Amino acid sequence: MTGYQASTTWSGVARRALAIALLAAAPLSAQSANPLVDPNAAKGLHFHPQGQTASQSTIALRNAEKAALPFADERDFAEAKRGFLAPLPSNTVKADAGHIAWDLESYKWLLQDKDFESIHPSLLRMARLNMNTGLYEVLPGKIYQVRGLDLTNITFVKGEKGWIVFDPLTTMEVARYALNFINDKLGKRPVTGVVYSHSHIDHFGGVRGVVDEADVRAGKTVIIAPPNFMHEAISENVFAGNAMTRRSRIQYATILRRSPFGHVDQSLGKNVSAGVPTLIAPTHVISRNLEELTVDGVKMVFHDTPDTEAVTEMNTWFPEWKAFWAAENVTATIHNIYTLRGAPVRDAANWSKQINQAIHQFPDMEVMFASHHWPRWGNARAMEVLRAQRDFYANMHSQALHLANQGVSVNQVHNIYQVPKSLQQQWAARSYHGATKNNVRGIINRYLGFWDGNPSNLDPPPSEVTGRLFVGMMGGAAPMIAKGRELNAAGRYRETAQILQHLVFAEPQNQEGRNVLADAYEQLGYQDESTSFRNSYLQLAAELRSGIAEGTAANSASPDIVSAMETGQWLDFLGISMDSRKAEGMAWTVNLITPDNGQKFKIEMSNATLTNIEGFTDPKANLTITLNRTDLTQVMLGAKSFEQLEAEGKARFEGDRRPFNELRSILTVFSPDFEIFPGTRNARQVPSTAKPFQYVVSPIGMSE
């Protein structure tokens, strides 16, 4: 057999069976409108006129790594197909707004009997495993999953009267589609329960697609979540949400063409759906480390696992079925300790310990399933995967600190740390989502911070200044570009990247230099197993060449998400949005009162800084603003202005309006289209649609 060899576990029979299943799903006619679809992907042609194929150096490295990988272990392919009941009715799902919310069609080129040299062999394997989509039976008559409609699986547990839904995807359109699909195949049943395993949006955002809030309020449907869920679901992304959105578009490459030379997979799934994210508050919050509940006749033990993959997260044990739901704590990839989108560094040691607790707390499990990928059946197989990931997180933690205590810095550790050989030979311990090089740096940063101990890095000059110095020392741009080409020809792409970044900062309009740097990034992307690294290299290569492309990203105007934001969080966000340089000389206090929820705040402008405190007001305040929180939410969404609410009699201003007008005049409306490298085309500092006082963040910045 030519192309992708049998040793990769992607047999011709398996590929043809999967292709038939996918082709059985009729494509949406509007698919051609998706700007991320690459019509030449199946032909192996690069989507960019300056794009390069895999170099000989990249191919040689790829071949060496392929030879060292455990392709003889084909169990994941069998497990990913086990329990298959029906293909998705369609590979595309439309958002209620009319655009395409989900498009699996754009990845069908992966089903070719071909070995793509521009994709790491291990990542290509995972990208093809994630093409196993449809309705699956995890435990006969009891547990089912719909896979391939979002980054996340949606799981349906069969109760006495209805479905208990675990992790209802990112957006309501795909969640609704999944519910209709399983009801059509297995019989219509009401949703009697919803479980949010943790606080990332791809695990709760589709809730309104599976349940009506009126049923929740009437007690017909229970929603269960881990401790502090509502706060954590919003808080991680409030203050740096715009920056996280931009960085997420890089890490997830959500606006990069789906192509062998572009986006191929997101490791946890194919991608993130682009519909409307929603949120309904839980009706029951877990309060103990192990808490047993019976919902719709199904007995469940919830295992609280804080500070693991999320700040708040929980596993679930089904004691009568010996089934273990691992949430996102254990999937088919090593995860992020430090995620490139930006978030506090996670606790690798505690993550390992929580997995260890599951091993010993539920030693008789016979099936392990999770919010991503496929289940593992049999006690030995489940324990094998649990131990591999337990040991990997523990090893990264202990050995990164072992090296740090010997003087290895945060800027050196990724070149020195080595994964134990036994773990390298286990597919469940491969770093598809997290990147090991990134994770060990994150561990040192968690304990020691970003400084590497070198005083030269305490107060570095701006990148533009350093860039001009480097260009001058090298005798100008031409010798730097020539050196970059020479290094690229030798396969020394990391060194090219270090040198030519200085040229781009010094001479942003030097397109030749940008292109040579993009060539280096492109090969580095082709070489990497981690989607986070691959996507980041390839997204920035595309931006260096052509700027920020247009694409369909997840909806950022979610009433549920904004409604869930605490008023104090919004006021803190105004302090971040305020340009302190324009506030010099301003001094005032404002009272904000929201009678419908009984809250009041004192807001003070002092020393060009905006602060607030809940529970207090100032009797001498310059201005008092009174409106219900439900109406304030309309301002936060950008649906109405304070003036409109005042005209409608829903907002009252008492006192001097000068503080309000001054604050509005110095608020920055953030845009996620800011440039990473100077001179990036299509970069926008201010979005055209957002309004002052509006909170804008894309859900992609709130995931994984």
Q: Read off the pLDDT of residues 589-629 as tens digits, 9 standing for 90 and up.
A: 999 999 999 999 999 999 999 999 999 999 999 999 999 99
Decide: 172 and 555 in contact? Cβ < 8 Å: no
Burial class (CB in 10 A: 0-12, 13-18, 19+), 550: exposed
Decide: 310 and 322 in contact? Cβ < 8 Å: no
* Strand ranges for 580-650 from DSSP E: 588-594, 599-606, 609-614, 623-627
> Both tokens of residue 152?
């996340």
At residue 229, φ and ψ (nearest 5 deg) are -60, -50
Share of the chain above pLDDT 70, in %: 92
What does the pLDDT read at residue 672?
A: 87
**Gyration radius (Cα) of the chain, Å:** 26
What does the pLDDT read at residue 192?
A: 98
Cα 523 to chain centroid distance, Å, stands at 24
Give the three-state DSSP class for 684. Answer: coil
Is the pLDDT reported for residue 556 higher than 70? no
User: How many CB atoms are located within 10 Å of the residue 27 CB?
Assistant: 17
Is the pLDDT reported for residue 5 higher than 70? no
Is the pLDDT reported for residue 314 higher than 50? yes
At residue 155, φ and ψ (nearest 5 deg) are -110, 135
Is the pLDDT reported for residue 24 higher than 80? no
Amino acid letter, residue 377: W
pLDDT band for 19, please (50, 70, 90 cuts): very low
pLDDT band for 53, please (50, 70, 90 cuts): very high
**In DSSP terms, which residues pair with 592 in a beta bridge?**
601, 625
Q: For helices 511-527 and 493-506, give the axis angle rounded to 10 degrees.
A: 150
- Tokens 């290569």 correspond to 541
Is the pLDDT reported for residue 8 higher than 80? no
Give the residue, 442 or 7, on which the prediction is more confident.
442
Q: Which helix (H) or strand (E) holds 166?
A: strand 163-166
Mean pLDDT of the chain: 92
For residues 640, 643, 615, 239, the Cα torsion angle rounded to the nearest 10 degrees is 50
> Both tokens of residue 204?
């709760």
Phi-psi map region of 476: left, alpha, beta (phi>0 left; psi -120 to 50 alpha)? left
For residue 385, give every residue at least 6 positions away whose Cβ sits within 8 Å of its Cβ, in sequence order, or none. 330, 368, 376, 428
> Both tokens of residue 238?
């409030």
Residue-wise pLDDT tens digits, 467-485? 999 999 999 999 999 999 9
Alpha helices, DSSP H only, in 24-116?
Answer: 56-68, 75-81
**What average pLDDT does range 78-91 have in this prediction?**
98
Residue-wise pLDDT tens digits, 487-509? 999 999 999 999 999 999 999 99
Decide: 472 and 479 in contact? Cβ < 8 Å: no
Cα 250 to chain centroid distance, Å, stands at 10
Decide: 503 and 481 in contact? Cβ < 8 Å: yes
Phi-psi map region of 636: left, alpha, beta (phi>0 left; psi -120 to 50 alpha)? alpha
Give the residue, 525 or 697, on which the prediction is more confident.
525
Decide: 579 and 653 in contact? Cβ < 8 Å: no
> Both tokens of residue 490?
């030798």
302-340 burial by CB neighbour count: b if 16+ within 10 A, else e?
bbbbbbbbbbbbbbbbbeebebbbbbbbbbbbbbbbbbb
For residue 294, give the DSSP letter: E
> Both tokens of residue 68?
């060292």
CA–CA distances in Å: residue 136 to residues 84, 130, 155, 321, 373? 4, 13, 9, 17, 12
Cα 629 to chain centroid distance, Å, stands at 30
For residue 609, give the DSSP letter: E
What distance separates the 2 farthest-apart alpha carbons in the chain? 83
Residue-wise pLDDT tens digits, 239-286? 998 899 899 999 999 889 999 999 999 999 999 999 999 999 999 999
At residue 346, φ and ψ (nearest 5 deg) are -80, 160
Q: How far apart are CA 216 and CA 193, in angstroms?
A: 9
Decide: 500 and 516 in contact? Cβ < 8 Å: yes
Nearest by Cα to 172 from 279, 269, 277, 281 = 277
What does the pLDDT read at residue 700?
A: 57
Q: How far apart are CA 130 and CA 134, in angstroms?
A: 11
pLDDT band for 683, please (50, 70, 90 cuts): confident
Q: How far apart are CA 80 and CA 371, in angstroms?
A: 14
Is the pLDDT reported for residue 10 higher than 80? no
Decide: 480 and 514 in contact? Cβ < 8 Å: no
Q: Which helix (H) or strand (E) holds 144?
A: strand 143-147
What does the pLDDT read at residue 33?
A: 58
